[in-house]
Amino acid sequence: LQAKMSKRVQARRLEGTEKNIWVEFVKLATTYSTVNLGQGFPDFPPPDFLREAFERILSGGNHMLHQYTRGFGHPPLVKILAQFFGKLLGRELDPMTNVMVTVGAYQALFCCFQAFVDEGDEVIIIEPFFDCYEPMVKMAGGTPVFVPLRPKAPKDGKLMSSADWQLDPAELASKFSKQTKAIVLNSPNNPLGKVFSRQELELIADLCVKHDVLCISDEVYEWLVYDRKEHIRIASLQGMWDRTVMIGSAGKTFSATGWKVGWTVGPNRLLQHLRTMHQNSVYHCATIAQDAVAQGFQRELELYGKPDSYFIQLPKELQQKRDWLVRSLDAVGMKPVVPEGTYFLVADISEFKSHVPDVPDSDEPYDSRFAKWMVKNKGLAAIPLSAFYCEAHKNNYSHFIRFCFAKEEATLKAASDILQKWKQEKSTP
């Protein structure tokens, strides 16, 4: 079989999943962790109104909701998404052509790369990045081109913020070429929690317009922004609507990652290609989950901007959890980078290095060895930051680990207790 494949096609098959960070770390967390702040999912329930909607649908009289619905998105859901995002973008959206529902944001991403990226195309990815972008670009036959966010030292002994990680404008511009088909933007960014500023987005937008490049805008954490920061949609900037696909997730929006309902919003000229991909791959997403998410958005549209809105409540609660984890990490000397958004933060492990036995001459990035040791010996699961860098850059930032703080108070407290105890052991000669 190998002999029948060209080198390029073989590269698209990639290495298999053994080397995948999630396969490896989810297994480690399941085997060893007592406290899991690794993978990104809440350990608290979705809001009552969403669960009640699901239960009502399940036990209600409309048995047709157990059957197939429209393949490109259940009509009530695409209608409310068009209304909701139309309001946010200040433009009329057609539910049938400007919105498509997907099996989570993950499938939306896969559809985008398959639909737009061909052999010879380059796709710019900003590091650190949600790890699946790289293999997905390669599976479509494209070449990922990486550009890093570069950290600047914070002023006056302050904690570093995710805003201190910035693109170098000249370096970013140098990555755009005739081969560039698309750039992937993820704001708020997983893993740093960076919320791109208007100025940063304008820089990206100008380059996209100048080089006729598409923007795949992964906005799954759009509601999770703190300290009155504003999430700006790049599609709302001059010249960008026509070249942007916005991607969202009910998993992140309504704290229900297992439902796997996601969506894309964009111009028909782009979405028509996503529909082809969707039609010929998964075709359809679970009807009941789509109907319940539609009811969730209906409620949120009515409460938009009001204190009872979940999109106000959730970030308020998460900001408290963020602050609590920031304080606990700071107190033990695992310096956190304070995130402006998402439910992740990365923390500097340098001060703990001498207390973790090391494997000399290992090719594996240090943070990965550290995170494995930590889960096996302390029962605390986190994800190494190097997992969010391409192979060539993995060792550039290998003294941070990522924690997820979308967790119950008791879970965060248990994590803090582990770190406190570890710190005490560290200081006892």
Residues that bind ligand PMP (CB under 6 A): 40, 104-106, 130, 186, 190, 218, 220, 249, 251, 257, 262
Distance in Å, CB of 63 to ligand PMP, minimum:
28
CB under 8 Å to 7, separation ≥6 — which residues?
none
Q: How far apart are CA 367 and CA 349, in angstroms?
A: 8
- The owner of tokens 């061909």 is 118
Q: Are 124 and 175 in contact (CB under 8 A)?
A: yes
- Of 98 and 186, which CB lies nearer to ligand PMP in the complex structure? 186
Q: Are 403 and 385 in contact (CB under 8 A)?
A: no
Distance in Å, CB of 393 to ligand PMP, minimum:
18
- Of 186 and 416, which CB lies nearer to ligand PMP in the complex structure? 186
- Of 22 and 373, which CB lies nearer to ligand PMP in the complex structure? 22
- Of 218 and 300, which CB lies nearer to ligand PMP in the complex structure? 218
Q: Are 209 and 239 in contact (CB under 8 A)?
A: yes
Q: Are 246 and 237 in contact (CB under 8 A)?
A: no
Distance in Å, CB of 197 to ligand PMP, minimum:
19
- Of 193 and 262, which CB lies nearer to ligand PMP in the complex structure? 262
Distance in Å, CB of 262 to ligand PMP, minimum:
4
Q: How far apart are CA 53 and CA 62, in angstroms?
A: 13
Q: How far apart are CA 118 and CA 429, in angstroms?
A: 59
Q: How far apart are CA 422 and CA 347, in angstroms?
A: 16
- Of 256 and 347, which CB lies nearer to ligand PMP in the complex structure? 256
- 324: burial class by Cβ within 10 Å (0-12, 13-18, 19+)? middle
Closest residue to ligand PMP, based on beta-carbon distance: 104
- Of 226 and 422, which CB lies nearer to ligand PMP in the complex structure? 226
Distance in Å, CB of 336 to ligand PMP, minimum:
19
Q: How far apart are CA 50 and CA 29, in angstroms?
A: 29
Q: Which residues pair with 122 in a beta bridge?
A: 143, 180
Distance in Å, CB of 384 to ligand PMP, minimum:
16
- Of 366 and 388, which CB lies nearer to ligand PMP in the complex structure? 388
Distance in Å, CB of 41 to ligand PMP, minimum:
8
Q: How far apart are CA 255 and CA 86, in angstroms?
A: 23
Name the DSSP letter for residue 162.
Answer: G
Tokens coding 341: 């958004």
Distance in Å, CB of 185 to ligand PMP, minimum:
10
Is the torsion defined by CA of 395, 20, 104, 382 positive or negative?
negative
